[in-house]
Amino acid sequence: METLATPIFLLLLLSSSYSLRAADAAADDDRDRLATYIVHVQPPKSAPAFATVDEQKSWYKSFLPSGSADDRLVHAYTTVVTGFAARLSPKELDDASKMPGFVAAYPDQLYSLQTTHTPDFLGLTLAGGVWNVSDFGKGIIIGVLDTGVFPDHPSFSGNAMPPPPAKWKGRCEFNASQCNNKLIGARAFLSGANAMKGAGVGSSASPIDEVGHGTHTTSTTAGAGVPGAQVLGNAKGYAVGMAPLAHVAMYRVCGLEDCASSDLLAGMDAAVADGADVLSLSIGGPSVPFYDDSIALGAFGAIEKGVFVSCAAGNGGPDPSSLSNEAPWILTVAASTMDRSIRATVRLGNGLELDGESTFQPQMPATTFYPLVYAGDSGKPSAEFCYNGSLDGFDVRGKIVLCEVGDGV
């Protein structure tokens, strides 16, 4: 039986009294309302070792109300942490906290999603240097946790890639033929997010990317070389990931806009169990104590098992406490301003010029004026960001559309 190492056990113990006080207060308000909690447990020293994972999961279910365990259990964690996520009322959480082996619990929360040119920008060249010394990531398995992946993207071609190392135990949850020696696995963990939305804990999901964020981050991490890459004629060049000879596996833990912490922890747990050498997460949340941070706790367990964890610092700042994933055992990757932009300059009627960015570079007379409209005026949710479908029915023909890109860097 593998149990939590003492450091992480102590880290969680610090949070237990706080968590229970919060649960008591919530119980006074509404004893019947269900919410998802991530519960960390520690088998008593006197307990015999678990013979199987199923036996361990059965012990987890003993913390749940009798007769409802299968309907309440969202995830069971057995690798990076010991514990589970479940739908509980405050009273039921309080009852679970009194059982032998309970350590701490905290509510599930939502986290946010955070070039042909990047290798040159970073000083990576095929001729020599760090890239050659690292053998371009050959033989390494990178588990990416994100919104899913487009398996037919050219960055995930398996041509000339060797089979994955024999230790690999992962699987492909879309059509198996869509996985290859580059994209060696794809799984989805969205039960936590679905439960928070009232869809039930058993809801199924596909690892297919519905947003593009996961495909982007995975190709940046370990995409195969793609000659002649461009977007509407911009940024023409040879697109290649940072570790082009590495194998990648996608763990979809995010929906269209956000990611539940219980799903993140499930993805990390599965990736380490499957045999990943590196975990890559372009996901983050607000700065919170480590004992309440699912990514920090999951990363601690992964590091203990020799798995390297890299996470995005976020797209905000540089205000105090604006970083994400600042735990010292995580490689926190900062955002940076690039040395190029695909600029689009708009000159207003009063002569003021505004520099924006646009992949669409129209060929039009600089002296011609066009109506300017603000996307947010469409009235649809998040229309100000020009998301797909948000401008449907909004008259933008022949006009310049102003879109927001957030309030970060």
Q: Which residue has the higher pLDDT, 156 or 366?
A: 156
Paired tokens of 124 = 């990576």
* 82 Cβ neighbours under 8 A, 6+ residues apart: 2, 3, 4, 40, 41, 42, 43
Mean pLDDT value of segment 336-350: 79
Q: What is the pLDDT of residue 116?
A: 62
Return all residues near 98 (Cβ < 8 A) that are at least 6 apart: none
pLDDT at residue 20 tops 80? no
Q: How far is C-alpha 319 from the chain's CA centre?
A: 23
Say what the pLDDT of residue 184 is: 97
pLDDT at 32: 58
pLDDT of residue 306: 97
Evaluate if residue 5 carries a pLDDT over 50. Answer: no
* Of the listed ranges 23-37, 260-274, 298-312, the one predicted with least confidence: 23-37
User: Residue 115 has what pLDDT?
Assistant: 61
Give mean pLDDT, residues 62-66. Answer: 92
pLDDT at 103 exceeding the cut of 80? yes
Omega within 30 of 0 (cis) for the link into 207: no
Domain residue ranges of the chain, discontinuous segments joined by +: 6-107, 111-333, 343-402
pLDDT at residue 127, rounded to an integer: 65
Mean pLDDT of 120-142: 80
pTM of the model: 0.80
Helix (H, G, I), strand (E, B) or coil at 359: coil
φ, ψ at 304 (rounded to 5°): -60, -30
With cut-offs at 50, 70 and 90, classify the pLDDT of residue 112. Answer: confident
**Tens of pLDDT along 290-302?**
888 999 999 999 9
Please check whether residue 256 is in contact with residue 190, taking contact to mean a CB–CB distance below 8 angstroms.
no
> For the domain 6-107, what is the CATH code?
3.30.70.80
How many Cβ atoms sit within 10 Å of the Cβ of residue 245? Answer: 19
Spatial contact of 390 and 380, defined as CB atoms under 8 Å apart: yes
What gap in Å lies between CA 194 and CA 260, rounded to an integer? Answer: 9
Pair 248, 274: CB distance under 8 Å: no
pLDDT band at 408 (very low <50, low <70, confident <90, very high): very low
CB 373 within 8 A of CB 401: yes
What is the C-alpha to C-alpha distance for residues 298 and 264, in angstroms, rounded to an integer?
Answer: 9
- More confident call, 310 vs 229: 310
3-state secondary structure of 37: strand
Average confidence (pLDDT) over 378-396: 88
Per-residue pLDDT averaged across 61-78, rounded?
Answer: 90
State the pLDDT confidence band at 266, using cuts at 50, 70 and 90.
very high
CATH classification of 111-333 is 3.30.70.1400, yes or no? no
Task: Average the pLDDT over each of 10-24, 193-207, 303-317 and give the range with the smallest value.
Answer: 10-24
pLDDT at 281 (0 to 100): 95
Contact 272, 279 (CB under 8 A): yes
